[in-house]
Amino acid sequence: MVDFSLTEEQKSLQDLARKFAKTEMLPVAAACDRAGRFPEDVYRKAWELGLMNLNVPTEYGGSGLSVFDQCVIVEELAHACGGMTTSIIANCLALEPILLGGTEEQRKRTLPAFCSSYHLASFCLTEPSGGSDAGGLQTRCRLDGDHYVLDGEKCFITNAPHASLYTVFATIDPALRHKGITAFFVPRAAEGVVPGKDEEKMGHRASSTSTVKFDHVRVPLADRLGAEGDGFSLAMRTLDHTRTPIGALATGIAQAAIDYAADYSLKRHTFGKPIGEHQAIQLKLANMAQEVHAARLLTWHAAWLIDGGQRGSLESSIAKCFASDAAMKVADDAIQIFGGYGYMKDYPVEKLLRDAKLTQIYEGSNEIQRIVIARELLTHYA
């Protein structure tokens, strides 16, 4: 029997995340957005409650949650601030390659530190020359005795200026394309690792994003994840797991847009009645509700498949792509319902649009998601 209801346990997790979002994130969200401030105090509290390393199994001290449970939490956090949520869940993305591709020894050596005290990790895949073309990355790794030497530059790396560990994807030979890509974990303290300055962004301004340069960084052979050439597959499998929570993040932003817009539509009067009683607004609200409902269910479905042991590439692509497009549409509609006020920074909805935009771009642009979806579709007809 298919069941669309949350368990009591999931409702408890939802309550916890909702409370944290409301009491810790929302009160500072607007100010952090305006100033581009990275609210480390909020992130430390998130870590203390166990909201940071959601995917790390309990045996290493993490929360050990299923992808579905992660989605439930992420949606609630993103309702208060998409940018902070991105920074809170960045450890999940950065540590996933170690969970999926690391040996037991490597996991024991790296993961407990993130669960026993507050530390951030960053996932370093995208490069200035391209993000979607992951097979074409240029950062080099060259074997030199019992070490690799890393040279190159990564960009748009979440939490990079604050991270203590990087999971890095580099190639033994760019001519090998995806077959040459190899993964490593590299401590921030390693000589030659240089995170750049914090980027000024359109949205997600409470999150921190920068380049990371690797300049003749010597990485022990023991810190390579999997075999040489396994990196591309590892990156893709990682994204299969983390793409779905991005759908949940977008859904949270979209739900916030509905909540603000519906509330406003009952308070704002024109032509002698609340604007929510005008059909023009009702039709908009109805469309918004459909978008968000579908986004949530697609996200839940993808998570359910992955938790059941399936790869879920197609479904997680559909969920991420649909939910992020929905977030853009719904945030746009919310601004329209607020009218001129919606365009003002004194009101909360314009931030939602700026935050939603990134969800169409990061963790695989929506164009890449559509290519994945189309290819998968066409295999059934070839």
Partner 1 sequence: MELLVLIKPVPDPDTRLRPNAAGTALDTDGVKWVLTGYDESAVEQALLLKESAPGSRVRAIAFGPAPRTEEILRSALALGCDTATWVEQPSGLVPDPMLSANALSWACQKTPFDLLVVGKQALDDEAGVVGPAVAERLGVADYGPVVDLRWDPAAGKFNLARAVEGGLERITASGPMVVCLQQAWNDPRTAKLQNVLKARRTTIDKVSWAEVQAGVGPAVPGTRLTSFRLPPPRTGAKMIAFKTPEEAAQQLVRLLREEAKTLP
> Which residues are catalytic, by number?
363
Beta strand 165-171 pairing with 209-220:
unpaired
Pair of tokens at residue 357 = 């935009």
Q: Which is nearer to partner 1, 58 or 129 (CB)?
A: 58
CB of 111 to partner 1, least distance (A): 15
Q: Determine the Cα–Cα distance for residues 95 and 298; give it in Å rounded to an integer.
A: 25
Q: Determine the Cα–Cα distance for residues 56 and 66; give it in Å rounded to an integer.
A: 10
Q: Which is nearer to partner 1, 19 or 37 (CB)?
A: 19
The dihedral formed by the CA atoms of 115, 120, 122 and 128, expressed in degrees to the nearest 10: 180
Q: Which is nearer to partner 1, 48 or 173 (CB)?
A: 48
Q: Which is nearer to partner 1, 22 or 108 (CB)?
A: 22
Residue type, 49: L
CB of 14 to partner 1, least distance (A): 10
For residues 146 and 174, the answer to whether their CB atoms sit within 8 Å is no
CB of 46 to partner 1, least distance (A): 10
* Residues with Cβ within 8 Å of residue 219, at least 6 apart in sequence: 141, 147, 148, 149, 150, 184, 186, 190
Pair of tokens at residue 54 = 């959601």
- Could you give the angle at which helices 67-80 and 279-307 cross, rounded to 10 degrees? 150
The burial of 100, by beta-carbon neighbours within 10 Å (0-12 exposed, 13-18 middle, 19 or more buried), is given as middle
Q: What is the CA radius of gyration of the chain?
A: 21
What do you get for the CA distance between the two ends of the chain, in Å? Answer: 33
CB of 15 to partner 1, least distance (A): 8
Q: Which is nearer to partner 1, 230 or 259 (CB)?
A: 259
Question: Which of 157, 182, 207 shows the shortest CA–CA distance to 36?
Answer: 207
CA angle 246, 326, 131 (to 5 degrees): 45
Q: Which is nearer to partner 1, 9 or 215 (CB)?
A: 9
CB of 114 to partner 1, least distance (A): 15
CB of 106 to partner 1, least distance (A): 24
Q: Which residues bind partner 1 (CB under 8 A)?
A: 8-9, 12-13, 16, 19-20, 23, 48-51, 58, 63
